A and B are shown apart, each in its own frame.
Chain A
Amino acid sequence: MTAPLLSIHDLEVSYGAVQVLFGVNLEVHAGEIVSIIGPNGAGKSTVIKAVIGLVEVQRGSVEFDGRDITNLPAHVIPSLGVTYVPQGRIVFAQMTVTDNLEMGAFLQHDSRKRREAVDSVFEQFPRLYERRSQPAGKLSGGEQQMLAIGRALMLNPRLVILDEPSLGLSPKYVDLIFEHLLTLKSQGRTLLMVEQNAARALELSDRGYALELGYNRFVDTGKKLLANDDVRRMYLGGA
């Protein structure tokens, strides 16, 4: 079996005096879609923030492509091939769609390559092309999410990490966004996401990790987790 693209070992993270992760383990292989699910307070977002350097890791390690990236400063991470789509569709509302995308490629100094990247995002998201000169603040929620994802693609990353991509979106847009994620996978990208909507996320995922209160509870293929009743009951403190 090939080595995983991303691996997290025995991760422990605390916010000040409050410990949130108590030794979480996780692997993502190239070309997979992996989801992290779990009830509130499970620490799902914290795992992701630890990978991209937004929180400090007290114990344990994060490895990407064979290299230890634990506690590297956040601004270094994109240059390694890992980009992040934050929770809540953070876009620069006053800037146009095109400018927002360009912001995603600020590390790319070659302007021709930048334009190519913008073009390829527009190809993938024709909706964004239509709105390319509009200020991002005027887009609908779903379109903004597409923009956030597009921006994360600008550096041609190997691993895209998404924090709650379906949050606050209407069902129609949830469908659309998840279709796009499948397309990304077919292009050979690897996705790691945290999702509230566990059912839809697991449908889409090759594998999933269910966390509870900072611990690994369940790990299995997406299908099996979906069928596992205990996983559902975990949300309400059962099982």
Chain B
Amino acid sequence: MIERVCAPDHILCAWGLTREFGGVQALRGVDLHVARGTITGLIGPNGSGKTTLFQVISGMDRGATGTISFDSESILGWRPSEIYRRGLARTFQLSRVFPELTVLENLVVAGHRRDRSAAERALGLLERVHLREYAAVLGKNLSYGQQKLVEFLRVLMSDPALILLDEPAAGVNPTLRQTLWEMVRHLNGLGTTFLVIEHNMEVIADLCSDVYVLSDGEIIAQGDFASIRNNERVLEAYFGKSRKHGAA
């Protein structure tokens, strides 16, 4: 068997990730390598398996086969809380803020257990996005956009090395969206790696140095956005293939 090694400048490597749900192959042998310190994009049409891939990498879905190496450790089969503690965090497409906990509690619970200054750090983060005065507000009383922002801050509490962002700006108004992307850029400048699922191609073009395209459970293209955008296979994946046209 060929020994698969993740290059040191790659923070996340996945080989042959396969996930089947009752006869349907959601992921078919996905290979993925995310370089350290990048903002890498993950795009693909609806139903292509992007969220499933995130579920598998983050440990929420333990039913996949293959290999996942994060920061030189094999993490397939680890439980999500362990993966989080190791430095890999993930946000959800639909806000999962804890509704009956205050904003501050939402953040503190995501910090390190023995961190005595967790509350301070949390307040600092809230300050950065002008939400400090919401610290004592219950999660359910925030607007949806604010919830998504708080959810984003939540995963920052453990200072992860890699963050998986699942459509972080969906349902968020333009002003908060700006704030969010600015924070992503800022953190990336400080060394945090991001893998981002996004449908907004402008954002992908603007932010991502590397893009993976997933279609029907397979990676069909990888590269910078300019080359992706003109890739026949990618266009076909999004647009579909008519039977009357021959091979492009």
Whether chains A and B associate is yes
Q: How far is the CA of A226 from the CA of B143 in the complex (A)?
A: 41
Q: How far is the CA of A207 from the CA of B166 in the complex (A)?
A: 35
Contact present for A237 and B47 (CB under 8 Å): no
Contact present for A41 and B173 (CB under 8 Å): no
Residues of B within 8 A of A237 (CB): 200-202, 204-205, 229
| A15, A17, A202, A237 pick with most chain B CB within 10 angstroms | A237
Contact present for B242 and A203 (CB under 8 Å): yes
Q: Known interface pairs A168-B47, A237-B205, A237-B229. Does A40 touch B240 (Cβ–Cβ under 8 Å)? A: no
Contact present for B239 and A18 (CB under 8 Å): no
Q: How far is the CA of A200 from the CA of B202 in the complex (A)?
A: 26
Contact check: which of A39, A40, A167, A233 meets B229 at CB < 8 Å?
Answer: A233
Contact check: which of B145, B200, B204 meets A41 at CB < 8 Å?
Answer: B200
B178 at the interface (CB under 8 A from A): no
Q: Known interface pairs A198-B240, A199-B242. Does A236 touch B47 (Cβ–Cβ under 8 Å)? A: no
Residues of A within 8 A of B241 (CB): 199-200
Q: Mark A145-160, 1 if CB is under 8 A from B, else 0.
A: 0000000000000000
B116 at the interface (CB under 8 A from A): no
Contact present for B234 and A236 (CB under 8 Å): yes
Q: Which of B201-219 contact A (CB under 8 A)?
A: 201-202, 204-205
A interface size (C-beta, 8 A): 25
Contact present for A167 and B205 (CB under 8 Å): no
Q: Mark B6-48, 1 if CB is under 8 A from A, else 0.
A: 0000000000000000001000000000000000000001110
Residues of B within 8 A of A105 (CB): none
Contact present for B243 and A200 (CB under 8 Å): yes
Contact present for B240 and A196 (CB under 8 Å): yes
Q: How far is the CA of A41 from the CA of B93 in the complex (A)?
A: 14
Q: Mark B162-175, 1 if CB is under 8 A from A, else 0.
A: 00000000010100
Q: Which of B43-86 contact A (CB under 8 A)?
A: 45-47
B interface size (C-beta, 8 A): 28
Residues of B within 8 A of A200 (CB): 240-243
Q: Mark B225-248, 1 if CB is under 8 A from A, else 0.
A: 000110000111011111111000
Q: How far is the CA of A168 from the CA of B24 in the complex (A)?
A: 9
Q: Known interface pairs A41-B200, A200-B242. Does A232 touch B47 (Cβ–Cβ under 8 Å)? A: no
Contact present for A201 and B144 (CB under 8 Å): no
Q: How far is the CA of A203 from the CA of B240 in the complex (A)?
A: 11
Residues of B within 8 A of A16 (CB): 144
Q: Known interface pairs A196-B46, A199-B239. Does A17 touch B200 (Cβ–Cβ under 8 Å)? A: no
Task: Count how many pairs of residues, one from A and one from B, have CB atoms less than 8 Å apart in the complex.
Answer: 67
Q: How far is the CA of A181 from the CA of B239 in the complex (A)?
A: 20
Contact check: which of A18, A202, A236 meets B238 at CB < 8 Å?
Answer: A236
Q: Mark A190-213, 1 if CB is under 8 A from B, else 0.
A: 000000111111110000000000
Contact present for A236 and B235 (CB under 8 Å): yes
Contact present for B229 and A232 (CB under 8 Å): no
A106 at the interface (CB under 8 A from B): no
Whole-angstrom distance between the Cβ of A228 and the nearest chain B Cβ: 11
B185 at the interface (CB under 8 A from A): no
The chain B residue sitting closest to A238, CB to CB, is B229
B132 at the interface (CB under 8 A from A): no
Whole-angstrom distance between the Cβ of B138 and the nearest chain A Cβ: 19
Contact present for A39 and B238 (CB under 8 Å): yes
Q: Which of A209-239 contact B (CB under 8 A)?
A: 226, 231-233, 235-238
Whole-angstrom distance between the Cβ of B54 and the nearest chain A Cβ: 17
Whole-angstrom distance between the Cβ of A115 and the nearest chain B Cβ: 35
Whole-angstrom distance between the Cβ of A207 and the nearest chain B Cβ: 16
Contact present for B199 and A41 (CB under 8 Å): yes
Contact check: which of B46, B204, B239 meets A40 at CB < 8 Å?
Answer: B46
The chain B residue sitting closest to A227, CB to CB, is B245
Contact present for A236 and B240 (CB under 8 Å): no
Contact present for A232 and B235 (CB under 8 Å): yes
Q: Which of A62-111 contact B (CB under 8 A)?
A: none
Contact present for B201 and A196 (CB under 8 Å): no
* 20 intermolecular pairs with C-beta atoms under 8 Å apart: A18-B171, A39-B199, A39-B201, A167-B46, A167-B47, A168-B47, A197-B240, A198-B240, A200-B241, A203-B243, A226-B242, A231-B239, A235-B235, A235-B238, A235-B239, A236-B228, A237-B200, A237-B202, A237-B205, A237-B229
Closest 6 CB pairs of A and B: A237-B201, A199-B240, A197-B240, A199-B242, A235-B238, A40-B199
